[in-house]
Amino acid sequence: MSKLPAILSRLDADLDASLARLSTWLEIPSISTDSAYAGDSRRAADWLRADLQSLGFEASLRETPGHPVVFGHRPKPGAPHVLFYGHYDVQPVDPLNLWESDPFKPVIREIEPGRKIIVARGACDDKGQVMTFVEAMRATLAETGDLPIGITVIVEGEEESGSVNLPAFVKANAAELKADLALVCDTGMWDRQTPAITASLRGMVYQEVTITCADRDLHSGLFGGAAGNPIHVLARIIAELKDAEGRITIPGFYDGVEEPSAQQKLDWAELGLTETEFLGQIGLKASVGEKGRMLIEQIQSRPTCDVNGIWGGYTGEGTKTVIAAKAHAKISFRLVGEQDPEKIAAAFQAFVRERLPADATAEFIAHGASPAIAVPPELPALLKAQAALSEEWGRKAVSIGSGGSVPVVGDFKRLLGMDTLLVGFGLDDDRLHSPNEKYDLSSFHKGQRSWARILQALAS
């Protein structure tokens, strides 16, 4: 007979105690990017290490050139084995004067009838999310004496400062970290009532281009009309990157871009995301994405091209009549499917060079390139997790894509050959990286219950 009902009942009864444990962890100011908090970061790591040890994990702190990684291992021979990832570091709290309470003294507030939140730095990103998984394991162990699957836990302390040491850590410890599947709890729900699994992450190519014409800035009265202007050149090239239909015009750019299945499109259409809902919150009205594509496709399953910065010539106060010698732009491409980052970078550079007039040259700086990551829609673990989430929330769990990147997922795929399920319970209004960060108590509570269900489902 399944012991899941007893596990869920224990999670319900133990909610206040689990909030107290989370609050204790949140009180530790583990700001990774500021060396003044290095000791606090280690305290936060050691707090989690001790908690995992109390759950029967072989737990330790693994040193890196930066902050340590919390490592926990609890095998179960003959059962599936998963690797759970999270992070214990948090963002700086500046500007402090905008916080309504001390960012490291967690408080519970009711923001509307029946909706309570916990406010603190790290409440959602990512301590609260990590503890949903830990509490699910705690309740399962209390009711059954064991976990249904083998679990390895790594929780790093540098995600908010770039995870600079994590790839080397994963590579060096690959034998210990290898599992059947990776789980990450650092993402969000579709809305407050609809759970989601992030099944794809767009990749990225980031290029900086400098166009040079003359060998110095020129007096526009003397040379204007004859000398090449690199700002004009760059602006024209950028304008040609997209056509009137919103498609990117670089030859071969769409090679490897796959169409979502008919069922996936139907599921997305049922979510009913509108321009008013999505763009209205940022003061916009109309999408500029590809014509004929749903808004949700434009932001998660289609590739993009965006100018992230452009500069050149005189930009100070007042006037200076010059023709600049150089013009610069930073341009990023979000990739999907099987798009090849190296080919995209090369095609972009060729696109620019082919449009250079006489006397103009182009130089490029690469600022990173990574492929898209996607979980196969038929992956049994994905289907099991979706069913478990749907059962808990009473609403069909959606499989969505993310326009952003989670580098560790690429590391797990590249270095360990593992797929990753990103299951999170954050909400759009959780104020991540901002003052008054919060986590809904419903997210924390039902997140625990969701993980308890998922652990049982993955064992079946």
CATH number assigned to the domain comprising residue 217: 3.30.70.360
- Decide if 281 is inside a domain: no
Flag whether 298 is in a domain.
no
Whether residues 53 and 83 fall in one domain: yes
Q: Are residues 213 and 193 part of one domain?
A: no
Answer yes or no: do 209 and 336 share one domain.
Answer: yes
180 phi and psi, to 5 degrees? -75, -25
72-100 pLDDT tens trace: 999 999 999 999 999 999 999 999 999 99
Q: Are residues 227 and 351 in the same domain?
A: yes
The DSSP line for 432-457 is TTSTT-EEEHHHHHHHHHHHHHHHHH
135-175 residue pLDDT tens: 999 999 999 999 999 999 999 999 999 899 999 999 999 99
In a domain, residue 343? The reply is yes
Q: Are residues 90 and 113 in the same domain?
A: yes
Q: Tell me what the mean pLDDT of segment 451-459 comes to.
A: 98
Please identify which residue in the block is written with the tokens 């289907």: 383
Distant-in-sequence, close-in-space partners of 129: CB < 8 Å, separation ≥ 6: 86, 185, 186, 424, 425, 426, 439, 447
SS3 label, residue 60: strand
Do β-strands 373-374 and 58-62 pair in parallel, antiparallel, or remain unpaired?
Answer: unpaired
Residue indicated by tokens 């219950």 = 449
Average confidence (pLDDT) over 207-224? 97
Specify whether the backbone of 122 is left (phi greater than 0), alpha (psi in -120 to 50) or beta: left
Residues 55 and 41 in one domain: yes
Q: Same domain, yes or no, for 95 and 160?
A: yes
List, for residues 20-57, the tens digit of each pLDDT value: 999 999 999 999 999 999 999 999 999 999 999 999 99
1 pLDDT above the threshold of 60: no
Considering 370, 400, 416, which residue would you say is the last residue of a domain? 370
Q: Are residues 109 and 141 in the same domain?
A: yes
In single-letter form, the type of residue at position 184 comes to: V
The answer to whether position 310 is within a domain reads yes
Q: Are residues 194 and 222 in the same domain?
A: no
Identify the pLDDT of residue 281: 86
Q: Are 398 and 358 members of one domain?
A: no
Task: Check residues 274 and 405 and name the one with the higher pLDDT.
Answer: 274
Tell me, yes or no, whether 295 lies in a domain. Answer: no
What confidence score (pLDDT) does residue 407 get? 76
Q: Quick one: pLDDT at residue 405?
A: 66
Task: Select from 80, 77, 127, 156 the least CA-distant residue to 418.
Answer: 80
Q: Kindly list the distances between the CA atom of residue 221 and the CA atoms of 227, 243, 274, 322, 435, in Å, as whole numbers in the listed order.
A: 11, 34, 50, 8, 50
Is residue 147, in this structure, part of any structural domain at all? Answer: yes
CATH number at residue 194: 3.40.630.10
Look at residue 321 and tell me whether its pLDDT is greater than 70.
yes
Domain with 409, as residue range(s), is 4-201+373-459
Asked whether residue 10 is domain-assigned, the answer is: yes
369 close to 342: Cβ distance less than 8 angstroms: yes
- Span 373-396, mean pLDDT? 95
- The number of distinct structural domains making up the chain is 2
pLDDT confidence bin for 427, thresholds 50/70/90:
very high
CA distance 42 to 32: 10
Q: Give the tokens for residue 168.
A: 């080397």
Quick check: is 364 in a domain? yes
* Domain limit, last residue, from 347, 370, 393: 370
Which of 342, 370, 398 terminates a domain? The answer is: 370
Q: What are phi and psi of 158, to 5 degrees?
A: -135, 15
Residue 264 pLDDT: 86
Is the domain of 166 the same as that of 32? yes
CB 211 within 8 A of CB 192: no
363 and 382 belong to one structural domain: no
